[in-house]
Structure 1
């Protein structure tokens, strides 16, 4: 039974502490759309998405009205398109037609984004995989709502360095293709290690092949709620601090559970998972960096930052898993620079560097996220950064990712404006020394010794 006190407490979190449900994501399998005829394939994809998702946005809006809970995004994820289009697509240009179909379907049903323009290449690349990867710059240039992700490694298989090198080149090319829009295409492209099958958050969402035909996944948020709760225990010991984070994460996740169950029942689609990530926004007071500062750091990036983030991430998960039996996706604390005003301030004041962010990704939810770098950064350097981040995920058996944005025509000290939830970002410096000879080696970095568990 939910008490009046709990109702009032939740209302206060929504009204004053930026609590929201960040996304309802409808996952759709497109495996039954496969066809060797490209025209028929595109027709099947469009028809299935627009049929299954026709009520997603109206239902989300109705739940918002009925419960007074903001649901910021309504999104769709689909089966990795490299798998779906393999029989019909003989060139990168063929895959671009599917990207346009996804974009058209997204606009028809009114969602914010559609994810799954993806390939899973942790051990090797098929011809279809490589064609899709090479199509990404054009696909992201010619669409508005399509998001792309590539999984280049896993703890079980190691790192596919051929794919890493190719994605370094594709990030640079995507920046060039979308330079008239501040290289925004790169903000919709993520390179993963250990990508989960059920992630509801963009730009990395896709509908895994282990999932049902359709599924409802929900991503919650609430950094502002956690920060406000911690203000009430300033100076307390670590046990009190941790208990406060856990209890707050429980409450946030219960809100997401309510929305997920309601959406599932109204749409007649099974409930999948709750992703209990703390996802910041550019809004004042909705920042993971400010939580770290409330814990006791002068600025995010100061000594102790990685320890504080590790504690925060762990307590969020401990509280969240008690609130829902089905927790999945990424789950933890996101540290995207452009989407977190506290992170932006820390970069501008010199407290936070890419190297410190990389250390923080060892314990956070994902990885190097929404980081703007100079437009003349080489493809080899970007590939090296991807390899470093993927290695952290591979060795530590966790999901890591890279979403770097080389901003053509801009350098360190300048700022790029993306708008909306993507925010704005200072251009951060990268290490100037070359890794060209390293990333030019072909083949695969083997899986770590602890991957052998059969």
Structure 2
């Protein structure tokens, strides 16, 4: 790197909240399948604690050596529903406990992969895992769960959508904090390093390192320095900034992989906000000229940002993957929280924004009495956006027992606080109870 680039990167880290948001080891557990839950659980623990033993020490050493903050160290594993093997009565919560104990043993922040991919249909194991999610999340501390209910290729599994509406309610009824660890996807990707939706897909190798970079503050500052720039100039500024951020992500990932003696896989180029001042995706949109996020023009501004980030990042990294784009989690973005508290942004506007950004309705708190069928309808709407537009979408909503619009819930730390947002009071129960599959769109058949 040239001297000026080094100076700029140092400034980004010290003044603009630039960091490696996560370094995530993907780990296949397919070789742990035995057909007996107790034996499989032990093999899960053994493989994780052996393979990931040095992940945190190596990440800490890189952080200290190069002065680059690495906020989270995580693991993602094979979707657990696949680990049942020939066991007719798999004890999935036992697998979750093994994952949790192993995560604590190697000192990673979170472990993702308590997951099922049911876009085309559910096996008995898939149904058993989905039913076990409330117990698994209630009895573990670091396990994250996800279910993929739709894809452009397969359409939407509405039976699974209905089930997951009920599961979200059950999870939150035990403790709404647990709902932060559950994501329902369409078009989930197999190499996502970000939680709570990370899992290690069956088409991946045995083990690899992925990194996720983040720098909303860096992008916002670069745009703010050019208040009269045209849209073409703004795009160029964002691309150049994303290039520098992504280059740092690749550097850290390759060093970590080399020291761990495992392959380096991908850089995820996502802009992931935190509640910290100056680390907001919503603030980027406001710096572009919107009075607040949610103003008419918000979706167009987000589309510009998302596309420019990807264009710049792709030039910087050998392999780009994961979700790669801009996240808009309500509770984790200071300016998004402010807009939600003032009623300046609605669920319907957030849904429109998810058509052009990464993921979907993310970290959204809703009244505790919201029916499970309404939550299922929200899942179906987001999944339909992903299916039709051939992109990843997801829902991470939190129905907070005893709370209603005007209240809020404080999750603390990076998870922030979430104002309870109003939900349309229409009834979706007949729609989501029809059952079956919403067919894949015609443009999915490209053989």
Q: TM-score, normalised by structure 1?
A: 0.98
Q: Following the alignment from structure 1 to structure 2, what is the Cα–Cα distance between the partners of residues 296 and 198?
A: 35
Equivalences for residues 169-188 of structure 1 within 5 A: 169-178=166-175, 183-188=176-181
Q: Is the 8 A contact 2:96 2:114 kept in 1?
A: yes
| Deviations 1:314-350 (CA, angstroms, capped at 9, x unpaired) | 0000000000120000000000000000100111122
| Deviations 1:349-383 (CA, angstroms, capped at 9, x unpaired) | 22110000000000001100000000000100000
Q: Following the alignment from structure 1 to structure 2, what is the Cα–Cα distance between the partners of residues 65 and 302?
A: 42
Q: Following the alignment from structure 1 to structure 2, what is the Cα–Cα distance between the partners of residues 32 and 89?
A: 19
For residue 276 of structure 2, the aligned residue among 283, 291, 300 is 283
Q: Following the alignment from structure 2 to structure 1, what is the Cα–Cα distance between the partners of residues 346 and 295?
A: 10
For residue 314 of structure 2, the aligned residue among 310, 317, 321 is 321
Equivalences for residues 17-36 of structure 1 within 5 A: 17-36=16-35
Q: Following the alignment from structure 2 to structure 1, what is the Cα–Cα distance between the partners of residues 148 and 36?
A: 27
Residue 342 in structure 1 maps to residue 360 in structure 2 = no
Q: Following the alignment from structure 1 to structure 2, what is the Cα–Cα distance between the partners of residues 191 and 90?
A: 24
Residue 8 in structure 1 maps to residue 13 in structure 2 = no
| Deviations 1:193-247 (CA, angstroms, capped at 9, x unpaired) | 0000000000000000000000100000000000000011112111111100000
For residue 255 of structure 1, the aligned residue among 248, 255, 270 is 248
Residue 87 in structure 1 maps to residue 86 in structure 2 = yes
Q: Following the alignment from structure 1 to structure 2, what is the Cα–Cα distance between the partners of residues 210 and 346?
A: 41
Q: Is the 8 A contact 1:23 1:74 kept in 2?
A: yes
Q: Is the 8 A contact 2:331 2:337 kept in 1?
A: yes
1:118 offset after TM fit, Å? Answer: 0.1
Alignment partner, residue 118 of structure 1: 115
The DSSP-based 3-state class of the residue aligned with 2:316 is coil
Alignment partner, residue 44 of structure 2: 45
Residue 266 in structure 1 maps to residue 259 in structure 2 = yes
| Deviations 1:77-115 (CA, angstroms, capped at 9, x unpaired) | 000000012433615xx1111111100000000000000
For residue 107 of structure 1, the aligned residue among 104, 107, 123 is 104
The DSSP-based 3-state class of the residue aligned with 1:371 is strand
Alignment partner, residue 168 of structure 1: 165
The DSSP-based 3-state class of the residue aligned with 1:322 is helix
Q: Is the 8 A contact 2:81 2:115 kept in 1?
A: yes
Alignment partner, residue 437 of structure 2: 444
Q: Is the 8 A contact 2:374 2:427 kept in 1?
A: yes
Q: Following the alignment from structure 1 to structure 2, what is the Cα–Cα distance between the partners of residues 37 and 358?
A: 43
Q: Is the 8 A contact 1:38 1:89 kept in 2?
A: no
Residue 194 in structure 1 maps to residue 187 in structure 2 = yes
Total equivalences in the alignment? 447
Moved over 6 A (4+): none
Q: Following the alignment from structure 1 to structure 2, what is the Cα–Cα distance between the partners of residues 308 and 162?
A: 36
Q: Following the alignment from structure 1 to structure 2, what is the Cα–Cα distance between the partners of residues 205 and 37?
A: 25
Alignment partner, residue 98 of structure 1: 95
Residue 298 in structure 1 maps to residue 297 in structure 2 = no
Q: Is the 8 A contact 2:38 2:94 kept in 1?
A: no
Q: Following the alignment from structure 2 to structure 1, what is the Cα–Cα distance between the partners of residues 149 and 323?
A: 17
Q: Is the 8 A contact 1:299 1:346 kept in 2?
A: yes
Q: Following the alignment from structure 1 to structure 2, what is the Cα–Cα distance between the partners of residues 260 and 333?
A: 20
Residue 242 in structure 1 maps to residue 226 in structure 2 = no
Residue 355 in structure 1 maps to residue 339 in structure 2 = no
Q: Following the alignment from structure 2 to structure 1, what is the Cα–Cα distance between the partners of residues 115 and 162?
A: 17
Alignment partner, residue 127 of structure 2: 130
Alignment partner, residue 57 of structure 1: 56
Residue 143 in structure 1 maps to residue 136 in structure 2 = no
Q: Is the 8 A contact 2:361 2:394 kept in 1?
A: yes
Q: Following the alignment from structure 1 to structure 2, what is the Cα–Cα distance between the partners of residues 50 and 205?
A: 19
Q: Is the 8 A contact 2:116 2:146 kept in 1?
A: yes
Alignment partner, residue 73 of structure 1: 72
Q: Is the 8 A contact 1:89 1:95 kept in 2?
A: no
For residue 430 of structure 1, the aligned residue among 413, 423, 426 is 423
Q: Following the alignment from structure 1 to structure 2, what is the Cα–Cα distance between the partners of residues 356 and 235?
A: 27
1:5 offset after TM fit, Å? Answer: 1.3
Q: Is the 8 A contact 2:367 2:399 kept in 1?
A: yes
The DSSP-based 3-state class of the residue aligned with 2:311 is helix
Q: Is the 8 A contact 1:415 1:424 kept in 2?
A: yes
Q: Following the alignment from structure 2 to structure 1, what is the Cα–Cα distance between the partners of residues 92 and 229?
A: 56
Q: Following the alignment from structure 2 to structure 1, what is the Cα–Cα distance between the partners of residues 380 and 37?
A: 34
Residue 398 in structure 1 maps to residue 378 in structure 2 = no
Q: Following the alignment from structure 1 to structure 2, what is the Cα–Cα distance between the partners of residues 104 and 88?
A: 22
1:8 offset after TM fit, Å? Answer: 1.1
Q: Following the alignment from structure 1 to structure 2, what is the Cα–Cα distance between the partners of residues 400 and 230?
A: 27
